[in-house]
């Protein structure tokens, strides 16, 4: 599940890789597949954006890669505090754990999941 609360621009429509099934809220990277540039689950090193829509025309997905505020339930089960940086793990899940020394932060936590909401609210930068 993923909700866009606010966004600076419209998501980018792209072809997904045929090698993996993508999920809403999953962090993706880009790679060349044949003659196409496709998105695939992030490896934790080169995050590009977050999947915000699936099953679009021509089997495309929408990727939010610009500044926005989002909430999702697609994250590692960890304790999240406001202001912490967010990264991608090696399966495309959001995490506050730096996977590699050179991992790039995707954004920061606005509000972690709690008894009132199971969602992670965060700012994508």
Q: Could you tell me the pTM of the whole model?
A: 0.84
Sequence-distant (6+) residues with CB within 8 A of 110 are 69, 82, 121, 122, 123
d(CA 113, CA 93): 15
What pLDDT was estimated at residue 62?
95
The rounded average pLDDT for each run of 10 residues, N- to C-terminus, in the chain (125 residues) is: 87 92 94 92 88 94 92 92 94 92 91 93 90
């Amino acid at each position: 599940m993923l909700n866009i609360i606010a966004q600076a621009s419209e998501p980018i429509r792209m072809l997904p890789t045929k090698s993996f099934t993508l999920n809403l809220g999953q962090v993706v990277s880009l790679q060349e597949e044949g003659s196409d540039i496709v998105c695939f689950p992030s490896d934790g090193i080169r995050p590009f954006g977050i999947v915000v829509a699936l099953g679009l025309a021509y089997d495309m997905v929408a990727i939010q890669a610009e500044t926005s505020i989002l909430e999702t339930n697609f994250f590692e089960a960890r304790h999240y505090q406001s202001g912490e940086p967010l990264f991608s793990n090696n399966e495309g899940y959001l995490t506050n754990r730096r996977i590699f020394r050179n991992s790039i932060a995707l954004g920061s936590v606005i509000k972690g999941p709690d008894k009132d909401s199971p969602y992670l609210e965060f700012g994508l930068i």
